[in-house]
């Protein structure tokens, strides 16, 4: 390294270590838990922005309404410091960002707000409490409507953002909302958000280059959510080493998908039931562990999820391509049908789940493509009935995507429909109660490899049911006891089904054909 580079590095280290401090007490703030300190705090932020540095909150309680962050300013909460959101609605001015997105002009307020800022942050060992269940209008009535309620943190079109180490509590809306931002690090924060409706933990909305690591969150609504409600996709997102609880969806990518998602990695995470026992939305144990969804056009491409444990949730895994086709700009045409492809989910254990089956579901003419599930173990309630096994599942093409939208599906383990090039390797299903549904139900699937499928089975049902499926390869299926067959094939469009390494002692027959399928389209390899 050259001498010039060494000097530059040392200057950066020194400037970071000795950032100029602006103590809010010096600007007239009072840490008494009563005085509204908005003017004093924003005065400190303005002064800090002129040189760059940190705005320091010593131990104590600071009541405030909207803090307007500025470039080169970090709010630093020392141990024992608490920022308390004002409980008067009049203290929160509306903000309409100069940026087109869905809900522009409909969500307006935040306790901490930044727009078009750079090099900003919130750090320290203190606490921010939005008191979102206590904000009242002038007439003494609580603030109920979606748009009126403030976020705790809302950042728009900003970059180089650092939020770390702080604890966050009780937002009136989403706890954190990052809209069209770039270069975000959210590290080692602790979130509890159970005081109002729409209490998400973190919403990353069309942002780029984001790392969320070593965080703990417990929310009534969704936990960590990636969405896109404007012209920018979510891309280059890493979620790592987090513990998440939610009454709804713990980790979700989708629901709103106008510009799509690419290059998403989720690893080494624990999903567990909430400490809160009375959900506003969802269920006590959570609606889904992981949901991947595209319903408003655009593309989801390149998602890797690995090393995840899911305790509870009604549905462990949910992948959905729909066609709600809701645009973010009324002056533009509605989006065309999107796509989902190149998804890998591996090393996932889910237990204490309900019998609302995991699923991969596209729509007619638009298949979900290139999905690999490997080393997946699901321990669920079971108890599925013969009636459920015979259900015709509605398409619900334009409906809001939700892991429970199809009710109990006709598979005990995984339901796959309108999909292409799917691989399942070392996937196993276990049940607390006997289940009379096939482990896998395949409908309109083109190209699928099923390797070492293991499942507890009812003797009267096939391990796999397939309707109008093509180019499906099944190797070494492993039921826990005798069952009807490896696969029951239905539909005249079913073609080229290959079965091999079949231990016939587990099956009454190797395969069955019904509903117009032809046994000539089934080929068997090694049977022993």
Q: CA distances (Å), 208 to each of 71, 99, 160, 184, 211, in order?
A: 19, 16, 11, 8, 10
pTM metric for this prediction: 0.95
pLDDT at 6 (0 to 100): 39
Do 473 and 450 form a contact (C-beta atoms < 8 A)?
Answer: yes
Q: What is the mean pLDDT of residues 478-502?
A: 97
- Which tens digits make up the pLDDT trace of 18-47? 689 999 999 999 999 999 999 999 999 999
Section 87-99 average pLDDT: 96
3 state SS of 304: strand
Going along the chain from its start, the domains and CATH numbers come out as 19-199 (2.160.20.10)
Distance, in Å, from the CA atom of 483 to the CA atom of 453, rounded to the nearest integer, reads 14
Distance of CA 413 to the CA centre of its chain: 21
- Contacts of 472 by beta carbon, 8 Å cutoff, 6+ apart: 442, 445, 447, 448, 449, 450, 466, 496, 497, 498
Can you list the alpha helix ranges (DSSP code H) found in 341-416? 386-389
C-alpha 188/C-alpha 186 separation (Å) is 7
Q: Which of 140-144, 164-168, 237-241, 425-429 has the lowest mean pLDDT?
A: 140-144
Q: What are the φ and ψ backbone dihedral angles of 199, each rounded to 5 degrees?
A: -85, 65
Write out 447-491 in H/E/C secondary structure.
EEEEECCEECCCCCCCCEEEECCEEEEEECCEECCCEEEEEEEEC
Residue with token string 């969804």: 293
What pLDDT was estimated at residue 3?
A: 47
Residues 436, 385: contact at Cβ < 8 Å?
yes
Q: What is the pLDDT of residue 418?
A: 98
Instruction: State pLDDT tens for residues 322-343.
Output: 999 999 999 999 999 999 999 9
Q: How confident is the model at residue 10 (pLDDT cuts 50, 70, 90)?
A: very low
pLDDT at 432 over 80: yes
Whether the pLDDT of residue 8 is over 50: the answer is: no
359-397 pLDDT per residue, tens: 999 999 999 999 999 999 999 999 999 999 999 999 999
Tokens, residue 476: 């070494």
Residue matched to tokens 């091999």 = 500
Q: How far apart are CA 23 and CA 407, in angstroms?
A: 55
d(CA 220, CA 175): 11
Tokens representing 464 are 């796999």
Q: What's the pLDDT at 19?
A: 85
pLDDT in tens, 495-523: 999 999 999 999 999 999 999 999 999 99
State how far the Cα of 486 lies from the Cα of 484, in Å rounded to an integer: 7
What SS3 class is residue 145?
coil
**What's the pLDDT at 12?**
37
- 227-256: pLDDT as tens digits: 999 999 999 999 999 999 999 999 999 999
Where would I find the H helices in 69-180? Answer: none
> Which DSSP symbol is given to 366?
B
Instruction: Please give the Cα distance from 78 to 369 (Å, whole number).
Output: 49
């Amino acid at each position: 390294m050259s001498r010039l580079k060494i000097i530059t590095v040392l200057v950066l280290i020194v400037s970071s270590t000795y950032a100029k401090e602006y103590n809010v007490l010096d600007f007239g703030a009072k840490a008494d838990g009563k005085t509204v300190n908005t003017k004093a705090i924003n005065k400190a932020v303005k002064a800090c922005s002129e040189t760059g540095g940190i705005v320091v909150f010593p131990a104590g309680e600071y009541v405030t309404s909207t803090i307007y962050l500025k470039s080169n300013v970090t709010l630093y909460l020392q141990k024992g410091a608490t920022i308390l959101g004002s409980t008067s609605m009049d203290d929160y001015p509306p903000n309409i960002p100069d940026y087109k997105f869905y809900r522009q002009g409909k969500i307006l307020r935040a306790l901490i707000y930044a727009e078009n800022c750079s090099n900003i942050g919130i750090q320290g060992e203190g606490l921010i409490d939005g008191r979102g269940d206590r904000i009242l209008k002038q007439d003494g009535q609580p603030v109920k409507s979606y748009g009126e309620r403030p976020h705790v943190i809302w950042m728009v079109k900003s970059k180089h953002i650092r939020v770390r180490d702080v604890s966050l509590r009780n937002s009136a809306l989403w706890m954190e909302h990052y809209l069209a931002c770039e270069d975000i690090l959210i590290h080692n924060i602790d979130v509890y958000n159970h005081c109002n409706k729409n209490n998400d933990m973190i919403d990353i909305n069309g942002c780029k280059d984001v790392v969320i690591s070593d965080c703990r969150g417990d929310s009534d609504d969704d936990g960590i959510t990636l969405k896109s409600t404007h012209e920018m996709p979510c891309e280059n997102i890493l979620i790592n080493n987090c513990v998440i609880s939610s009454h709804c969806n713990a980790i979700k990518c989708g629901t709103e998908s106008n510009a799509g998602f690419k290059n998403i990695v989720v690893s080494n995470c624990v999903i567990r039931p909430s400490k809160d026992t009375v959900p506003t939305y969802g269920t006590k144990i959570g609606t889904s562990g992981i949901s991947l969804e595209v319903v408003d056009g655009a593309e989801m491409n390149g998602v890797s999820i690995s090393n995840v444990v899911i305790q509870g949730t009604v549905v462990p895994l949910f992948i959905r391509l729909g066609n709600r086709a809701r645009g973010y700009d009324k002056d533009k045409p509605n989006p065309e049908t999107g796509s989902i492809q190149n998804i890998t989910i591996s090393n996932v254990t889910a237990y204490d789940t309900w019998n609302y089956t995991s699923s991969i579901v596209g729509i007619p003419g638009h298949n979900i493509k290139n999905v690999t599930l490997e080393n997946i173990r699901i321990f669920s309630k079971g108890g599925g009935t013969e009636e459920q096994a015979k259900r015709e599942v509605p398409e619900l093409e334009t409906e809001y995507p939700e892991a429970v939208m199809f009710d109990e599906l006709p598979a005990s383990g995984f339901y796959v429909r309108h999909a292409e090039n799917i691989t399942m390797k070392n996937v196993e299903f276990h049940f607390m109660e006997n289940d009379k549904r096939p482990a896998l139900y395949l409908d309109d699937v083109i190209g699928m490899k099923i390797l070492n499928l293991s499942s507890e089975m009812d003797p009267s049902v096939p391990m796999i049911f397939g309707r109008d499926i093509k180019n499906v390869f099944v190797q070494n299926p492993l039921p826990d006891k005798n069952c009807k067959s490896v696969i029951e094939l239905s539909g005249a469009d079913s073609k080229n089904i290959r079965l091999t390494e079949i231990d016939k002692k587990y099956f009454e027959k190797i395969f069955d054909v019904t509903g117009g399928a032809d046994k000539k389209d089934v080929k068997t390899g090694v049977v022993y």
